[in-house]
Amino acid sequence: MVAFIGDISTLELQVQSVDLMKSKSGENRTEHHTDLYQSENCIIRRGQKFHILYTLSRPFNPNTDKLHLEFKTGPLPTVSKGTHVIIPLVEELKGNRWEAAIVSQTDKSIKLSVNSPASAVIGKYQVSVETSNSTKKSVFTHDSANDVYMLFNPWCKDDTVFMNSEDERNEYVLNEIGRIYYGTENQIGVRTWNYGQFDDGILAACIFVLEKSGTPPSGWGDPVNVVRIISAMINAPDDSGVVQGNWSGVYSDGNAPTVWSGSVEILKQYHKTSGKPVKYGQCWIFAGVFTTVLRCLGIPSRTVSNFSSAHDTDVSLTTDIYLDENLEPIEHLNADSVWNFHVWNDCWMARPDLPEGYGGWQAVDATPQETSQGTFRCGPASLAAVRNGQVYLKHDCPFVFAEVNSDKIYWMKNADGTFSQIYSEKKVVGHKISTKAVGSDERSDITHLYKHAEGTEEERIAVETACRYGSKAEAYSSPTAEDISVEVTMDGKDPNMGEDAELTITVQNSSSEQRNVFLHSQAAVMYYTGVHKATVRKDNTDLAMLVLEWSLKYEDYKGHLIDQAALMLTLSGRVSETQQVLATQFSFRLRTPDLIIKVSETP
């Protein structure tokens, strides 16, 4: 009997049970800021230690027994790719590497502290443990209920998504409710959006989105790569992504975009149907779902609305308007457009792939507008690069720059079929770029992060720098002397649907001489994306006066309105005495009646 006790370390050492300490109130979940996830899984963040408790078949003898952990992720786990990780048992943790150490031992139980590097691949890991002594080896693989979810870590200074401000982390990672802005710059509306990134099943759905992309998990440690994958996967083209876009106004075989009030139902439906695109979405839907996925995976993000948002289709970095000899728009050539508003996302990360100074907020967009490297996706584009016109820095800075700061160039057809640049507007794109403020429901204007103040020397230099890299670099012309300008304003209360819209056209003459202007006006019903639906009124006016009151009657537009009740007035004209060309566009929308709900008691 004594001899048997002395030889106990020669008995096979087996793992009988494992405790990942994964309860929401347990130390792993609370210390890793994952206690809000409505999930029973072990959810941890990379670059930070966590604990595992193993119960063994006999006491562990560090002199004769050996133990190591194995973490595997993806369909083909490979050591060299970082998707099959062998974690050795060490005497002391050094940090920022895969390692494990025994921190306490009680009879047959040992508690391990496990470290992961701040660059670890994120995703779902299968965990096993191998034990051995001088004579025998044993492998313990637990069931899928004990899989470990590894996320990005904005609390870890070594993680490229690290965010220093606790208030900002609370807003951009942990806040489940947001506000998305829409309308026009003069009539900004807001809708509440439930991101629901911690709802039951959402983390699994987000990992499914990554898996559905077919990209190798070995690349999922780089947030630049991950946001690019998700940007492509949120929209349906190319890869049967999460949301199918529809701007037609016909949604009978799905849900109208205005039906959705959050991301949870959309992501759950996509996961439940094994990747069938959900019908239907428009830009704010793509952006809302994108924010949910990014926050769920641990990348700080926010939903951003840009008013008078240009859609540049030919990488000219200008918004081009083509007119015929009579100054009428040539519709089939006018592929560029200016959306009343467009919603995309900012995400926060370092950019080690760019020169210093370009980390921080990055613009990403999941709305399928133009392809990037053959796929409908956009970003991450450094806001610092966009602001300074450094459009040669990846990814997709030219497109984002054009959205917020392109000049609108008017071209007139010549007798020989060529086009001449006749006018440019420099302050009509990229206004009141908005996001929800940190810690409140107020609107925060972040235009200054995307562009220098309009008309400043810095802003003009940024435009000239950017246009040098555009497909129409030669089209950029220096300003010429112009003494007549035209502006459209709307005074008083915004017009309601069913009422006449009253606008004021003001012509400013900065010369000391008489000027006469021939003015062509055209009112059109627009999709909020800037796409033309129907022309509802045209006028020609010989104008010697300085102010013209212009009215759009209800009779003109009734029967033509669509989702956002958006309208655009296009003015083009010529000064008789100097042949100077004038051109401008003014977007506005009609208000729907406010609905006031009163409850009889305290709800």
pLDDT digits (tens, 9 = 90+) for 372-397: 667 788 889 999 999 988 898 999 99
Same fold, 9-151 and 167-469: no
C-alpha distance from residue 447 to each of 285, 304, 425 (Å): 22, 10, 19
Mention every residue, 6+ apart, whose C-beta is less than 8 A from residue 312: 318, 319, 336, 370, 398, 399, 402, 403, 406
Whether the link from the prior residue into 59 is cis, omega within 30° of 0, is: no
Mean pLDDT of 512-526: 84
Q: What is the pLDDT of residue 577?
A: 82
Reduce the DSSP state of residue 288 to 3 states and report it. Answer: helix
- Where does 484-589 sit in CATH, by number? 2.60.40.10
Mean pLDDT of 66-95: 93
pLDDT of 531 over the 70 cut = no
464 annotated as belonging to a binding site for a ligand: no
407 annotated as belonging to a binding site for a ligand: yes
pLDDT of 117 over the 80 cut = yes
Show which residues are catalytic. 283, 342, 365
Q: Assign 7 a pLDDT band (cuts: 50, 70, 90).
A: low
Q: Assign 2 a pLDDT band (cuts: 50, 70, 90).
A: very low
Q: What is the pLDDT of residues 200-215, one digit of tens each?
A: 999 999 999 999 999 9
Tokens encoding 542: 């010989």
> Domain locations in the chain?
9-151, 167-469, 484-589
Q: What is the pLDDT of residue 59?
A: 92
pLDDT of 472 over the 70 cut = no
- Where does 167-469 sit in CATH, by number? 3.90.260.10
Side chain identity at residue 35, one-letter code: D
Q: Assign 4 a pLDDT band (cuts: 50, 70, 90).
A: very low
Mean pLDDT of 154-173: 95
Q: Which of 137-146, 300-309, 377-386, 478-487 has the lowest mean pLDDT?
A: 478-487
Q: What is the pLDDT of residue 191?
A: 96
Q: Which of 22-36, 263-277, 398-412, 531-545 has the lowest mean pLDDT?
A: 531-545
pLDDT of 477 over the 60 cut = no
Phi first, then psi, for residue 461 (nearest 5°) are -65, -40
pLDDT of 3 over the 60 cut = no
Q: What is the pLDDT of residue 517?
A: 87
Nearest to 131 by CA among 208, 56, 238: 56
Q: Mean pLDDT over all residues of the chain?
A: 89
Give the HSE-up count for residue 10: Cα atoms under 13 Å, Cβ half-sphere: 5
- Structure-token match 């508003």, residue found: 341
Mean pLDDT of 463-467: 82
563 annotated as belonging to a binding site for a ligand: no
Output the CA angle 21-291-187, nearest 5 degrees: 145
Tokens encoding 287: 């952006």
454 annotated as belonging to a binding site for a ligand: yes
Q: What is the pLDDT of residue 178?
A: 98
Side chain identity at residue 228, one-letter code: R
Cβ 282 vs Cβ 234: under 8 Å: no
Side chain identity at residue 167, one-letter code: D
pTM: 0.86
Q: What is the pLDDT of residues 285-322, one digit of tens each?
A: 999 999 999 999 999 999 999 999 998 888 888 888 99
Of residues 302 and 92, more confidently modeled: 302
Cα 341 to Cα 347: distance, rounded to the nearest angstrom: 20
Superfamily name and number for 9-151: Immunoglobulins (2.60.40.10)
Q: Assign 5 a pLDDT band (cuts: 50, 70, 90).
A: very low
Of residues 530 and 537, more confidently modeled: 537
Q: What is the pLDDT of residue 478?
A: 47
pLDDT of 143 over the 80 cut = no
Of residues 222 and 92, more confidently modeled: 222
pLDDT of 548 over the 60 cut = yes
Q: What is the pLDDT of residue 142?
A: 65
Mean pLDDT of 401-406: 92
Reduce the DSSP state of residue 24 to 3 states and report it. Answer: coil
Mean pLDDT of 416-433: 90
Q: What is the pLDDT of residue 524?
A: 83
Beta strands in 142-249 (DSSP E): 148-151, 177-184, 187-194, 243-245
